[in-house]
Chains A and B, each alone.
Chain A
Amino acid sequence: DIQMTQSPSTLSASVGDRVTITCRASQSFNTWLAWYQQKAGQAPKLLIYKASNLETGVPSRFSGSGSGTEFTLTINSLQPDDFATYYCQQYDSYSTFGQGTKVEIK
């Protein structure tokens, strides 16, 4: 099974900051990776698929990159609505989620 490890677990940031979340895989795969945003009491929302493709309707301040074993989600100019928990997901071999990164207000 492919294990996914996100870092950091918690990130404190201010509105306007650029933030980066990293997801590392226990074994290499192509670009079958997605990123989700989840707010308290809500279902997850797809942000990025195939490592770098922005889902329709998602603001362009979100971007994804990477391949192999290291992937990143970047949020440029953090907005108040972006404070949430973010998860990566590999779907190269069935599916596995990272443990999540909580982005909180500094």
Chain B
Amino acid sequence: EVQLLESGGGLVQPGGSLRLSCAASGFTFGNYAMSWVRQAPGKGLEWVSVISVSGDNTYYADSVRGRFTISRDNSKNTMYLQVNSLRADDTAVYYCAKHRGWDTYDAFDIWGQGTMVTVSS
């Protein structure tokens, strides 16, 4: 079964950091681009970042550029999101999502269940 499982969320103070993980199974992870998408409580979806199959190319939403870093380890079938300098408006469920193919510009056909990040003092 194709599956994505996020972990690493939690309660963190403003200015703090977390490392989110997304473990993939059921498909050849290294053949697909991957993205992170977040959803603040009661709000819509916001794309956060994308990473190419090799990890050489990464892109970020303006709202997180310079604070978040996406990476992947194809040998471990895992993607990461290092989130630093967290602010209250970063509070959200963070989803990892598999692209339909290798292209960083593609629809997302598989989503994880999400991990909650709460930024509060």
Contacts and interface: CB of A to CB of B under 8 A. Distances in A.
Given A1-B62, A94-B50, A89 B107 contact: yes
A74 interface: no
Interface string B51-71: 000000001011000000000
B66 to A, nearest CB: 16
Interface in B93-121: 95, 100, 105-109, 111-114
A44 interface: yes
Nearest to A48: B107
Interface string A29-54: 00010101010000111100110000
A33 to B, nearest CB: 9
Contacts of A50: 107
B24 to A, nearest CB: 14
Contact of A98 (B44, B111, B113): B44
B100 A87 contact: no
B45 A44 contact: yes
Given A1-B62, A43-B95, A43-B114, A95 B100 contact: no
Contacts of B108: 34, 36, 44, 46, 89
Contacts of A99: 44
A43 B107 contact: no
Given A94-B59, A95-B35, A46 B107 contact: yes
Interface in A65-99: 87, 89, 91-99
Nearest 4 pairs of A and B residues by beta carbon: A34-B107, A43-B111, A95-B47, A49-B107
Interface of B: 35, 37, 44-47, 50, 59, 61-62, 95, 100, 105-109, 111-114
13 contacts: A32-B105, A34-B107, A45-B111, A46-B109, A49-B100, A49-B106, A49-B107, A87-B45, A91-B105, A92-B105, A94-B47, A97-B47, A100-B45
Given A36-B108, A46-B109, A94-B50, 18 more contacts: A32-B105, A34-B107, A38-B45, A43-B113, A43-B114, A44-B95, A44-B111, A46-B107, A49-B107, A50-B107, A55-B109, A87-B45, A89-B108, A91-B105, A91-B106, A93-B105, A94-B59, A95-B35
